[in-house]
Structure 1
């Protein structure tokens, strides 16, 4: 034990037992080692062998108080050991509960993630079908526009050829001078 007034260095000690945190695994608050935050046996407690006699007491006249003192110390050591074992047992139970909770939580989170993923793919499938239908409609419209454009060109060439055949008189303007736009406007005006 440190003398009064000296700085306290190292882990806090209760009756010679270094106190450790149960939540940091195999290390104490100040770096001591103990698996799963368990307390170590109280080896630091003073131990008196049976028959030990204090030098200032007479072995014959003070035998009964000495026996009572030894009994009290042994009783204190035994109770301390039982308390440490109980604390360690409770910490092991806490560790088991937390491990089971962690596994259960991971299973639930994994199950929820799988359900969300399934819902996401169902939404993708529905959107894909809608987009595929729209793309099909767009493709059909583009194909129809291409056909109409080809037909319009053929009509323009036919009308242009007909005007060229009619343009034999000098007073009639040449078809080249009128241009294709002129004939297209005429065609649309008759439709």
Structure 2
């Protein structure tokens, strides 16, 4: 592998890193100056290991970078956990609100059902009185009909008796 082949992917990575939101301004400047010095120096044995060159240990800037990256990851994890906890708390609040709403709604529906039932009973009472009045009138009418029927029978018997008397008289 040639030095140019090794250099170009790393240079692209280095140029992309300063635009990342995980870096603060100081780290961006350090990385930018480091990438500029790498472009200028032809020695890339530390960047691109070959069969004869052993891999070199990380220098101070790289370890600072990884420490900052770890710190940023920890901050993201902490913020994520906080957001999850806030979401769970909001869900608990929503559940409480819905439970209270359901209870309140049940009380109102129960109250309205009782009022409706009372109204129905008042209507039933009024209708019962009207029906009793009508039944009383019907009863009185039926009694009058019975009286009239009895009188009509008496009249019919009287007429029948009179007809028999007229039919039975001797002829003169």
Q: TM-score normalised by the shorter chain: which range applies?
A: 0.5 to 0.7
Shift of 1:125: 0.7
2:98 aligned with 1:113: no
Alignment match, 1:10? none
Mapping for residues 41-190 of structure 1, pairs under 5 Å: 58-59=56-57, 63-167=59-163, 168-169=165-166
Q: Distance in 2 between the 1:147 and 1:169 partners? A: 34
Q: Distance in 2 between the 1:146 and 1:100 partners? A: 67
Deviation readout 1:85-112 (Å, 9 max, x if unpaired): 1111111111111111111111111111
Question: Which structure is higher in helix share?
Answer: 2
Q: TM-score, normalised by structure 1?
A: 0.55
Q: Distance in 2 between the 1:161 and 1:66 partners? A: 136
Structure 1 169/70 Cα, relative in aligned 2: closer, same or farther at 3 Å?
A: closer
Structure 1 94/163 Cα, relative in aligned 2: closer, same or farther at 3 Å?
A: same
Higher relative contact order (CA 8 A, sep 6+): 2
Q: TM-score, normalised by structure 2?
A: 0.60
Q: Distance in 1 between the 2:147 and 2:47 partners? A: 126
Q: Distance in 2 between the 1:92 and 1:77 partners? A: 22
Consecutive unaligned residues of structure 1, counting only runs of 5 or more, are 1-52, 173-191
Shift of 1:160: 2.2
Deviation readout 1:36-87 (Å, 9 max, x if unpaired): xxxxxxxxxxxxxxxxx9875733xx62112211211111111111111111
Deviation readout 1:107-143 (Å, 9 max, x if unpaired): 1111111011101111111011011101111211111
